[in-house]
Amino acid sequence: MSARIFNIISIVTVCAAAYWLPWYLFVLTVLFFISVLFFACINLSWNFFIPTLCKANTNDRVVALTFDDGPALYTSAILDTLKEYNTPAAFFCIGRNITGNEQLLQRIKDEGHIIGNHSYSHHFWFDMWSAAKMMDDMQQMNDETARITGLQPLLFRPPYGVINPKLAAAIKEKKYTSIGWSIRSFDTKIKDKEKLLFRIMTQVKPGGIILLHDSMEITAAILPDLIQQLRRKGYTITRADKMLNITAYA
Using CB under 5 A, list all residues that contact Zn ion.
68-69
- Of 113, 118, 122, 213, the active-site residue reads 213
Query: Which of 123, 199 has the CB closer to Zn ion?
Result: 123
**Rounded distance between C-alpha atoms, residue 215 and residue 75, angstroms:** 7
Query: Which of 157, 166 has the CB closer to Zn ion?
Result: 157
Query: Which of 68, 144 has the CB closer to Zn ion?
Result: 68
Among the residues of the chain, which ranges form H helices? 3-20, 23-42, 75-84, 102-110, 131-149, 165-173, 193-203, 217-232, 240-244
Q: Is 69 a catalytic residue?
A: no
Per DSSP bridges, beta strands 208-213 and 236-237 are unpaired
Q: How far is the CB of 127 from Zn ion (least distance, A)?
A: 12
Q: How far is the CB of 92 from Zn ion (least distance, A)?
A: 7
CB contact set of 188 (below 8 Å; sequence gap of 6+) = 213, 215, 216
Tell me the three state secondary structure of residue 59.
coil
Amino acid at 70: G
Query: Which of 58, 99 has the CB closer to Zn ion?
Result: 99
Q: Is 68 a catalytic residue?
A: yes
Among the residues of 65-213, which ranges form H helices? 75-84, 102-110, 131-149, 165-173, 193-203
- Of 68, 187, 214, 241, the active-site residue reads 68
> Residue 228 to residues 3, 84, 209: CA-CA distances in angstroms?
42, 12, 17
Q: How far is the CB of 67 from Zn ion (least distance, A)?
A: 10
Which value, in Å, is the radius of gyration of the alpha carbons in the chain?
A: 20
Q: Which residues are annotated as catalytic?
A: 68, 213
